[in-house]
Structure formats: structure tokens, C-alpha cells
Amino acid sequence: MAYLILAQETLQSCKSMRSSLFRHLLAKSKVEHIFYQGANNLEYGKNEKRISFMDNDKRNAEMIVRLKHDGLTKTKFFRAILTGYLERDPEIVAFVERLKEDTQSQSKNKSKKVKQLEKDGKNTKTKFGLNEGDIENIFDMLEKVHPDL
């Protein structure tokens, strides 16, 4: 509520200024500044963020038809793909690897290094018998001991 009041006050003070563009930029910068100051107090990982991109209307329509046919919503589809990507689902990783090769978005040398790092990471997890819950607990313990990190 405080954000809205401050934004309204900022807009009120700008009304006397002639340039509507200047008013818009000033109000936007003040609100974003206030928002980001307040965001520091929120818990990381609990805040919702919008992820979006643009594509043409034909591909959008085709996607909607395809998703309807598969009984999925756009939200379920993109969350599942994102989860698979972040959790390194082998089929999604293979798709991304093919995409990187086809678009040449990553050099062969860099790609080789990334694959080696992922392999080393898997070996380390296996060597120490760590699962995702254990790793998360380690970070929680570190945060309790060193809250300033």
C-alpha cells in the first residue's frame, strides 16, 4: 500500500511538469527504486516473477491448438519445460545440446567444458552420497552460521 501512495505522490508532484515523458520516467524510476528497496526484505525463491517472450500470432495459435490437443495449459507446459531444464532432465538436456549445435550458440570447446563440469558434479554427488535435499540443508546450515553471506 505504501508503494502505491508514494507512486501517487510522485505522480501528483509531476503534474505541474510539462513533459509527459519526463513524468512517466520519473514516476517509473521512483516506484522501481522503492519496490527494489522493499524487495530486499522478501524471501528469495518465494517471490513470483513473470517470464515472457514474443513470437508471431501464427505460432501462438499453433501452440494453443497443440496444447489443447495434449490437454495442457501454457502455464503447465512452460513450468514443466523449465523444471526439466533446471533439474537437468536428460531428454531436455539432449534437446538443448542439439539446439546449441544447430544454432552454434556455444563453441565446441565451451560445450566440452560444460559437459565435463556436469560430469564432475555428478561424480562428486555420487562420491559423497549427496542428494538435492542434503545440498539444500548444507546451504541452510551455512546461512544460519553466516547470515551475512
The rounded Cα 104 to chain-centroid distance in angstroms is 23
* Helix segments in the chain, DSSP class H: 2-14, 20-39, 57-70, 74-86, 90-103, 108-128, 132-145
pLDDT at 62: 98
Q: Is the dihedral of CA 79, 104, 117, 93 positive or negative?
A: positive
In a domain, 111, yes or no: yes
Q: Is residue 49 classed as helix, strand or coil in its secondary structure?
A: coil
For 20-35, what is each residue's pLDDT tens digit? 555 555 555 545 544 5
Residue 46 lies in a domain: no
pTM of the full predicted structure? 0.54
Q: Both 132 and 80 in a single domain? A: yes
Q: In this predicted structure, what is the pLDDT of residue 90?
A: 93
Would you say residue 50 lies in a domain?
no
Could you count the other beta carbons within 10 Å of the beta carbon of residue 27? 19
Are the C-beta atoms of 106 and 99 separated by less than 8 Å? no
Name the residue with higher pLDDT: 129 or 66. 66
Query: What's the pLDDT tens digit per position in 68-99?
Result: 999 999 999 999 999 999 999 999 999 999 99
Question: How many structural domains comprise the chain?
Answer: 2
Rounded distance between C-alpha atoms, residue 42 and residue 24, angstroms: 27
Domain limits for position 7: 2-39
Residue 45 lies in a domain: no
Residues 94, 32, single domain; the answer is: no
